Amino acid sequence: MLKTTKRFAALLMSSVLFASSVPAASAADAGKLTYEVTYSAEDLSTPMDWYNSDYFDNPEYKENRFVQYWVETPIAPGGPRDTGFYIVYNEEGMNIFFQSNEQEREANGVLKNSSLEIFLQTGHGDLPYHQMIIPTNGGPVDYFEWQTEYRNNRPLKGNVTVVNEEIPTGWGTVVRIPWETYYEHVPLNGEDWEFAMIRWSPSHSPTWGGRVHQAGRFNVLDIQAPTAEQRTNIQKNVIRKAWAKFNETSATLRATWLNGDADDERFFNRYLQPLIAEGEAKGAEISNLDAMSAAEVDAMYAHVDEWFELRYDAEDARTADLKNRFFAENEAPTVADVTYSTLKNTPAAGTIVGTDPDGGALTFALGTAPLHGTATVTEGGDWTYAPNEDYVGTDAFTVVATDASGETATATVSVTVLRGPETTASISPGEPNGGGGWYTSDVTVALATTADDAVGANRTEYRIDGGDWTVYVEPIVLTEDGAHVVEYRGVDNAGHVEATRTATIAIDKSAPEAAVVLDVAVLWPPNHKLMPIQATVTSGDGEGGSGVASVRLVSIASSEPDEGTDGEDVPGDVADAEYGTEDTSFSLRAERSDGGSGRVYTITYAIADVAGNVTTVEATVTVPHNQ
């Protein structure tokens, strides 16, 4: 501090130049103390970048009004002593350019060194603020942080970039402050900051001097709100920096504490690993950042503080851990008992709630095991219980909570395993009255639900063929053909829902559809010869039917006797027919009685479906008397 005080005294002995934060565009309003900071996508990282830009000497952006430091006499802008500043921002951070029309040179022609002193505050009022003294010849920069506590101290030193460069009009200095330095105060909504500067002269010339800065007073930087796209780009940039910092800190913490020392590893597993796991969970979608909507980016941006501050959170955890271990009189933890009910053959799960009066973390473990099932407990207090198969009744187990000092508390988990609602289905007819498990009539389904006596049944629900669940009121009558799936379940008064039961009921009340066509309808001439006949039988059982099971040739009947019709009659008028089979090829004799009106052969087939419904179809072949 002594060295700094002496330097300040020496600086105050010299003449200085100081700029107010008032845009030149408002020069007519000498009392205005606001500089409007706008967004710029240009690369303005060096003084020459600024010199070659449209910003340079542009009165809309340049502030160069000064007064003498001691006597407050205005200094005319634009002269050989002119000093000005420009401020813009982009997605990376704040960019400040200082322009000095320096004319004083050393004997060797090199411009004499001067200094720029700046003050920056990220808001209004009694807030922490930052101070920098920057030599224009590239010498070491002095940094001062005021009114900052360790956790909220975001120092400029090590986080800003300073570039000094001689430009055609004198000195140029660029100060770039990345947003991650001020991640809690990034002006996404057009906030105001406060700013002031002093230009210290390279000599004691009386022509130098000026004052706008006053102790305790800053001038306003009115940061113009970014567009929606610019805002999102700023957020994405800060998110990536925060995520990188989080991962860097995570790796450092693991390397520091997972070192083989039991106490260190206990501290890491109990306090730090949960912090890291929480941060990793919140950053799980970082890889999709570029594809996120603005709302999703906003949600991700809410975790920036946590990622940047993992180091501070770890330090706080260590302080609390040491305090509890070495300085505090430990109090035993407390835990709450748990009462739970579940259905038979159904696992249960929950979490033990515990409190450590000393503010430390608790670890949990299974104490006494259950008698009628199995239980597990995680270090975080999550428990599971699985009853033995078909067991119904009460059971219990205990969970032990342990604090950092080894003090314990025990919680009892009491579990009631209920039979739960059970629903039976009565189907009438009791058995399928058709073949293949099919019913050939309407089917009635009656449902009934019972439950544990202490709970009671509440209702029965059912649905048919995947339809909506309906509360059961009266027996269900199924009338339509088809294989119907009836799902049903019971609900008790405790809200337990029975696992869905299923009954499949197949109904086919309709006979199949069929037709027979012969390739020959008339036999002529009546020459008493056997003629081959080919039948084509088509059949189907319709939508929802059980399907065609068989096609049988039942009979071939003649309208005249097989023999004795006249003197030339030949017996055996039907040949090659295999009755009771699906035979479709046979022979009929081209013969008829001389005294009759002609002969008619009637061929009959029977078509049966799986359920047993039968349809008969016929076709005829005629031997006319004459033609």
Ordered by start, the domain boundaries in the chain are: 15-226, 230-322, 334-417, 422-507, 513-624
Tens of pLDDT, residues 36-47: 999 999 999 999
> Can you name the CATH fold of 334-417?
Immunoglobulin-like (2.60.40)
pLDDT of residue 239: 95
Residue 297: name the closest of 225, 246, 233, 245 by CA: 233
C-alpha–C-alpha distance, residues 247 and 239, integer Å: 12
Residue 263 pLDDT > 90, yes or no?
Answer: no
Closest by CA position to 402, among listed 578, 266, 542, 230: 266
* CB contact at 8 A, 572 and 589: yes
Mean pLDDT of 554-581: 90
May I ask the CATH class of domain 15-226? mainly beta
pLDDT of 13 reads 33
Q: 216 pLDDT band (50/70/90 cuts)?
A: very low
For the segment 383-440, what is each residue's pLDDT rounded down to a tens digit? 999 999 999 999 999 999 998 878 899 999 999 999 999 999 999 999 999 999 999 9
Under the banding of pLDDT at 50, 70 and 90, the label for residue 352 is: very high
pLDDT given at position 394: 94
Percentage of the residues of the chain whose pLDDT score is greater than 70:
88
Is residue 5 scored above 50 in pLDDT? no
Q: Do 22 and 35 meet the contact criterion of CB atoms below 8 Å apart?
A: yes
Instruction: Please write the tens of the pLDDT for every residue from 468-491.
Output: 999 999 999 999 999 999 999 999
Phi and psi based region of residue 153 (left: phi greater than 0; alpha: psi -120 to 50; beta: remaining): beta
Q: By the 8 A CB rule, do 315 and 301 touch?
A: no
Confidence bin at 31 (pLDDT 50/70/90): low
Structure-model confidence comparison of residues 444 and 30, the more confident one: 444
Residues 6+ apart with CB under 8 A from 583: 553, 577
Confidence (pLDDT) at 32 = 60
pLDDT at 561 over 70: yes
Could you read off the pLDDT of 217-247 as tens digits, one per residue? Answer: 457 889 999 999 999 999 999 999 999 999 9
Report d(CA 63, CA 170) in Å as an integer.
17
Q: Give residue 8's pLDDT band: very low, low, confident or very high (50, 70, 90).
A: very low
Question: Are both 15-226 and 422-507 of the same fold?
Answer: yes
Q: At residue 208, does pLDDT exceed 60? A: no
Average pLDDT of span 295-300: 95
DSSP H/E element including 502: strand 501-507
Domain 422-507: CATH superfamily is Immunoglobulins (2.60.40.10)
pLDDT tens sequence across 506-524? 999 999 999 999 999 999 9
Least confident of 270-284, 308-322, 595-609: 308-322
Q: Sorting pLDDT into bands at 50, 70 and 90, what band is 129?
A: confident
Q: What angle do CA 125, 131, 134 make, to 5 degrees?
A: 150
Beta strands 373-377 and 438-439 are unpaired
pLDDT of residue 21: 36
Amino acid at 127: L
Q: What is the pTM of this model?
A: 0.52
The least confident of 55-64, 167-176, 427-436, 559-568 is 559-568
pLDDT for the residue 450 = 95
Q: In this predicted model, what pLDDT tens digit does every residue of 282-291 receive, in sequence order?
A: 999 999 999 9
For strand 192-200 and strand 219-223, is the pairing parallel, antiparallel, or unpaired? antiparallel
pLDDT, residue 195, reads: 87
With 70 as the cut, is the pLDDT of residue 149 above it? Answer: no
What CATH number should be reported for the domain whose range is 513-624?
2.60.40
Q: Residue 364 and residue 461: Cα distance in Å, rounded?
A: 41
Sign of the C-alpha dihedral computed for residues 303, 307, 309 and 310 taken in this order: positive
Report pLDDT for 212.
40
pLDDT the model gives residue 424: 97
Give the mean model confidence (pLDDT) for residues 619-624: 97
Q: Say how many C-beta atoms besides its own lie within 10 A of residue 389's C-beta.
A: 8
What radius of gyration do the chain's Cα atoms show?
A: 49
Q: Is the pLDDT of residue 124 over 90?
A: no
In this prediction, residues 157-182 reach a mean pLDDT of 91
Mean pLDDT of the chain: 87
